[in-house]
Amino acid sequence: MTTYDISLLVGDGIGPELSDCVERVLHEIHDRSSCIRFTIGKVEAGDNALKNFGKALPDETFEKIKESQACLKSPVGESAADVVLVLRRYFDLYANVRPSKNYANIDSISTNVDLITVRENTEDLYLGWEFLSDEDTAISLRKISRFASQRIAKHAFEVAMKRDRKKVTIVHKSNVLRISDRLFIEASREISKQYPEVEFEEMYVDACAMELIRRPTRFDTILTTNLFGDIISDEAAQVTGSIGLAPAANIGEKFAMFEPVHGAAFDIAGKNIANPTSFILALKMMFDWLGQKYNDRKLINQASKVEKVIDDLFKANVKTKDIGGKFSTIEFNQILMNNLNEIGYE
Ligand code: ATP
């Protein structure tokens, strides 16, 4: 029997509704599994926390997250940067991993896509090293280091090794960014030599943006830098369907944080219409990560069961309204838990 300490960050907008869904699924597994247990530290962060406690990331929240083994983070509103960037930096969550996949009965411009974007999460233009050289001229500095490039490349190749197709596409713009992106490519090529089983190709980011629309099935694992990854992974989410289905993981050596790709969606908050799938799939990613980290086969199996239930629900056209279904957030989540019960727990 293994007990995992999970922090659940509640957030803003549709965050509390989605957190409730995920918390209920965690409780269900905790109560019914013969070998998987959780303690859930529910914490607040974001705009609501700023209002209530004077800080977007209150000290108590930060402490509880530090004490946990992984964090499930629901969307945060305007103060997102004060929460996400702090956590990413503190835990050195260097890999942003986003799967994009076609599901049955989900309208999209593609079929049979199953790809994953592995984005470097710690440097590039996102360091915010910007200044005005005069009042009409802004300068941004881009940092790409060999260390961070090799580290993310290694992560991407490890991801690819666990997938059937074993293919990495490194996405860059080295014809223009001749020093920084050449260094990124060199570092990736170096790492690729350690993985002879993995097919390796290189592609300019503009070509990748087109190919994602034209022939997305050619991709398996996309390895790229921070800014390009931000854009490419959002595009990939749309290519395969709705943003309400897209999960993301922020992974470090010792800690990881799992979240929906979308934001707080204030326009639909409190209406019981938000799609919880993105957060449930983030939960699935957390099970996979914890299962691999702690060598827990049962938790990895439980992750597959969560994904299977989502697959089956969509096949049976059980969907929330945002993707053409008729079910509310709570109804969809309840049916999901019923189906989890039917296939049984580890
Ligand atoms: P951000 O500015 O942080 O990106 P946002 O809420 O403005 O956040 P998105 O999260 O990209 O933007 O969402 C865009 C729209 O998509 C939302 O306004 C909402 O209508 C819809 N949406 C997002 N997530 C969901 C969801 N889980 N279920 C249903 N609809 C969603």
Q: Could you tell me the CATH number of the domain that includes residue 178?
A: 3.40.718.10
Of 107, 259, 262, the residue with max ligand 1 atoms within 8 A of its CB, to mutate for a pocket test, comes to: 262
Q: Do 281 and 323 sit in the same domain of this protein?
A: yes
The answer to whether residue 346 sits within a structural domain is yes
Closest approach atom of ligand 1 to CA 265? 6
What sign results for the dihedral spanned by CA atoms 99, 101, 103, 108?
Answer: positive
The answer to whether residue 127 sits within a structural domain is yes
Q: Do 223 and 253 sit in the same domain of this protein?
A: no
**Cα(77) to centroid(ligand 1), Å:** 11
Q: Do 116 and 234 sit in the same domain of this protein?
A: yes
8 Å CB contact between 118 and 156: yes
Closest alpha carbon to 223 in 190, 262, 259 = 190
The answer to whether residue 41 sits within a structural domain is yes
Last residue of a domain, one of 182, 217, 239: 239
User: In terms of C-beta density within 10 A (0-12 exposed, 13-18 middle, 19 or more buried), how is residue 71 classed?
Assistant: buried
Closest approach atom of ligand 1 to CA 267? 18
**Cα(297) to centroid(ligand 1), Å:** 34
> Could you tell me how far CA 156 lies from the centroid of its own chain?
14
Task: Provide the 10 A C-beta neighbour count for residue 290.
Answer: 22
Last residue of a domain, one of 239, 270, 294: 239
Any atom of ligand 1 within 6 Å of the Cβ of 263: yes
8 Å CB contact between 281 and 97: no
Q: Do 156 and 274 sit in the same domain of this protein?
A: no
Task: Provide the 10 A C-beta neighbour count for residue 252.
Answer: 17
Of 230, 243, 245, 323, the residue with max ligand 1 atoms within 8 A of its CB, to mutate for a pocket test, comes to: 243
Last residue of a domain, one of 214, 239, 264: 239
Ligand 1, atom 18, lies closest to the CA of 265
Q: Which domain holds residue 210?
A: 109-239
**Cα(158) to centroid(ligand 1), Å:** 31
Any atom of ligand 1 within 6 Å of the Cβ of 274: yes
Q: Do 276 and 185 sit in the same domain of this protein?
A: no
Query: What six digits make up the tokens of 77?
Result: 């509103």
- Listing from the earlier edge strand, what are the strands of the sheet with 167-172? 36-43, 2-9, 70-73, 256-260, 247-251, 95-101, 114-120, 221-224, 167-172, 199-204
Any atom of ligand 1 within 6 Å of the Cβ of 275: yes
Pairing between strand 2-9 and 70-73?
parallel
Ligand 1, atom 31, lies closest to the CA of 244
pLDDT the model gives residue 346:
86
The answer to whether residue 101 sits within a structural domain is no
Q: Say which residues have a Cβ less than 8 Å from residue 276's Cβ, sequence separation at least 6.
A: 17, 18, 21, 22, 320, 329, 332, 333
Q: Do 259 and 303 sit in the same domain of this protein?
A: yes
The answer to whether residue 261 sits within a structural domain is yes
The answer to whether residue 104 sits within a structural domain is no
Q: Do 210 and 166 sit in the same domain of this protein?
A: yes
Q: Return the active site residues.
A: 126, 173, 206, 230, 234
The answer to whether residue 102 sits within a structural domain is no
Structural domain count, the chain: 2
Q: Do 130 and 213 sit in the same domain of this protein?
A: yes
Any atom of ligand 1 within 6 Å of the Cβ of 319: no
Tens-level pLDDT at each residue, the chain (346 residues): 789 999 999 999 999 999 999 999 999 999 999 899 999 999 999 999 999 999 999 999 999 999 999 999 999 999 998 999 899 999 999 999 999 999 999 999 999 999 999 999 999 999 989 999 999 999 999 999 999 999 999 999 999 999 999 999 999 999 999 999 999 999 999 999 999 999 999 999 999 999 999 999 999 999 999 999 999 999 999 999 878 899 999 999 999 999 999 999 999 999 999 999 999 999 999 999 999 999 999 999 999 999 999 999 999 999 999 999 999 999 999 999 999 999 888 8
Q: Do 75 and 120 sit in the same domain of this protein?
A: no
Q: Do 196 and 266 sit in the same domain of this protein?
A: no
Closest approach atom of ligand 1 to CA 264? 6
Query: What six digits make up the tokens of 112?
Result: 């049979």
Q: Do 65 and 141 sit in the same domain of this protein?
A: no
8 Å CB contact between 2 and 37: yes
Q: Mind listing the pLDDT tens digit for each residue in 202-221?
A: 999 999 999 999 999 999 99
The answer to whether residue 194 sits within a structural domain is yes
Q: Do 123 and 231 sit in the same domain of this protein?
A: yes
Closest alpha carbon to 83 in 287, 288, 263, 286 = 263
